[in-house]
């Protein structure tokens, strides 16, 4: 099943072309790594898939449903059933680990007891059981990464979008968390779209690497 389809998508910022006629199909269960230097359009692709921005030209579909086309968004981010792990993690500092993970569940109207069960299960899954009441500032960088993963995975997304999530970590921790993400993907079977500028990281994480340069996919 095709999870993501991008058809001749272009995107401009202040008159500058960020993406140039990009077409890309992502199948269910794939681990796609989008590889390229800063400013090549990698993050723009994630933001388009997530629904944070609309393509200026071209169309995007999620699981066969047209979600945006030619400057219009038909399906907002919260209705696309996608998870996102941001480069800066975007954890809310005033909320506990539990509060960060629970936020999306509350937005979906999940009952309280079910929320508690899901939070407990996902914290066990990412190796963070016992940290539910900690604030992000009380956690190490690697632990914060795990919380960001848990927050995305608890919603059982059809695809997980990851924007250079390990770039701030030292090499040893980076490699350890690569293995952890791969373990979770194998266990849960979610589709993964992962952005990086690091070729070694791309080789480790991908079933398919999509290389980009200056807003275009290199063939």
User: What residues does each domain of the chain span?
Assistant: 1-81+161-219, 91-156
What mean pLDDT is reported for the chain? 94
Inter-CA distances, 59 with 2, 43, 163, 168, Å: 15, 17, 22, 33
pLDDT for residue 107 = 87
DSSP 214: T
Confidence of residue 169 (pLDDT cuts 50, 70, 90): confident
Among the listed residues 65, 67, 37, the one whose alpha carbon sits nearest the alpha carbon of residue 55: 67
Confidence of residue 167 (pLDDT cuts 50, 70, 90): confident
Tell me whether strands 16-27 and 31-35 are parallel, antiparallel or unpaired: unpaired
pLDDT for residue 89 = 83
Mapped onto helix, strand or coil, the DSSP state of residue 120 is: helix
Among the listed residues 27, 51, 28, 22, the one whose alpha carbon sits nearest the alpha carbon of residue 189: 28
**Contact in structure between 201 and 32 (CB atoms under 8 Å):** no
Q: What percent of the chain has pLDDT over 70?
A: 100
What does pTM read for this prediction?
A: 0.92
CA trace torsion 200, 205, 210, 212 (10° rounding) = -50
> In this model, does residue 37 exceed pLDDT 80?
yes
Domain 1-81+161-219 maps to which CATH number in 3.40.50.261, 3.40.50.150, 3.40.50.300, 3.60.15.10?
3.40.50.300
pLDDT for residue 219 = 66
Per-residue pLDDT reduced to its tens digit, 181-201: 999 999 999 999 999 999 999
pLDDT for residue 1 = 87
Task: Report the alpha-carbon distance of residue 8 to residue 146 in Å, rounded.
Answer: 35
């Amino acid at each position: 099943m095709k999870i993501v389809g991008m058809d001749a998508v272009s995107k401009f910022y202040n008159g500058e072309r960020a993406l140039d006629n990009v077409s890309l199909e992502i199948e269910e269960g794939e681990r796609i790594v989008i590889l390229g230097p800063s400013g090549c359009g990698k993050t723009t692709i994630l933001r388009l898939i997530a629904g944070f921005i609309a393509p200026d030209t071209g169309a995007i579909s999620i699981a066969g449903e047209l979600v945006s086309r030619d400057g219009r968004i038909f399906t907002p981010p919260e209705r696309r059933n996608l998870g996102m792990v941001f480069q800066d993690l975007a954890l809310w500092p005033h909320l506990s680990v539990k509060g960060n993970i629970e936020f999306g569940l509350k937005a979906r109207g999940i009952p309280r007891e079910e929320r508690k069960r899901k939070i407990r299960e996902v914290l066990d899954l990412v190796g963070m059981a016992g940290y539910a009441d900690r604030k992000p500032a009380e956690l190490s960088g690697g632990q914060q990464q795990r919380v960001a993963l848990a927050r995305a995975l608890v919603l059982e997304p059809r695809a997980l979008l990851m924007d250079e999530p390990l770039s701030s970590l030292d090499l040893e921790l980076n490699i350890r968390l690569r293995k952890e993400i791969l373990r979770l993907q194998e266990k849960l079977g979610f589709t993964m779209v992962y952005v990086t500028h690091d070729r070694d990281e791309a080789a480790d994480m991908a079933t398919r690497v999509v290389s980009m340069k200056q807003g275009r996919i290199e063939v």
